[in-house]
């Protein structure tokens, strides 16, 4: 694989998804992956237990850090529900979370169910985990997430 191809790898497909909570088990955080197939039973995205600014969706890669260069989001596949604004953060130690766009600076989210909203980071970062913290939404806090970069 060339270096350019590595940078575009979907890291989240091989990561572990977790979240603050779920609406019910069929809407778990693992369903937020763009790689989740719609032919499986249950929800087609992560659906937070409640819709408030205390929710987050996280992808982690275990002990070894990865290089993160960009991320993308989508809304719920089958209903008009999506996150319209969020904070994106990464960590190397699981304690200190850093927003690569600036402390407290949100990113524009989705405006419909299925359009992909893609954000390049200002510079690639080394991370053991990333998380998205919704700050505004349409109807409910639900989302799909892809994280791109390399495992070098």
Residue 41 pLDDT: 65
**What structural domains and CATH numbers belong to the chain?**
3-150 (2.60.120.260)
How confident is the model at residue 8, as a pLDDT?
A: 56
Q: Specify the pLDDT at position 38.
A: 58
User: For every one of its 152 residues, what pLDDT tens digit does the chain have, with 9 covering 90 and above?
Assistant: 444 444 457 888 888 898 999 988 888 888 888 877 655 566 788 999 999 999 999 999 987 899 999 999 999 988 999 999 999 999 999 999 999 999 999 999 999 999 999 999 999 999 999 999 999 999 999 999 999 999 87
**pLDDT number for residue 121:** 97
What is the structure's pLDDT at 88? 98
Is the Cβ–Cβ distance between 68 and 10 less than 8 Å?
A: no
DSSP assignments along 6-60, one per residue = HHTEEGGGGSEEEES--SSGGG-GGGGBTT--TTSSS-SSEE-SS-STT--EEEE
- The answer to whether the beta carbons of residues 152 and 77 sit under 8 Å apart is no
**pLDDT at residue 5, rounded to an integer:** 42
């Amino acid at each position: 694989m060339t270096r350019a191809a590595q940078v575009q790898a979907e890291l989240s497909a091989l990561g572990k998804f977790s979240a603050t909570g779920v609406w019910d088990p069929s809407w778990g955080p693992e369903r937020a992956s763009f790689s989740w197939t719609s032919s499986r039973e249950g929800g087609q995205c992560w659906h937070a237990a409640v819709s408030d600014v205390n929710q987050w969706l996280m992808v982690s890669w275990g002990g070894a850090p990865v290089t993160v260069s960009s991320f993308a989001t989508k809304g719920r596949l089958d209903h008009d529900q999506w996150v319209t604004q969020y904070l994106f953060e990464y960590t190397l130690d699981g304690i200190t979370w850093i927003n690569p766009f600036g402390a407290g600076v949100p990113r524009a989210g989705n405006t419909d169910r299925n359009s992909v909203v893609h954000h390049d980071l200002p510079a690639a970062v080394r991370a053991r985990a990333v998380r998205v913290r919704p700050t505004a939404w349409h109807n409910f806090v639900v989302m799909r997430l892809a994280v791109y970069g390399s495992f070098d």
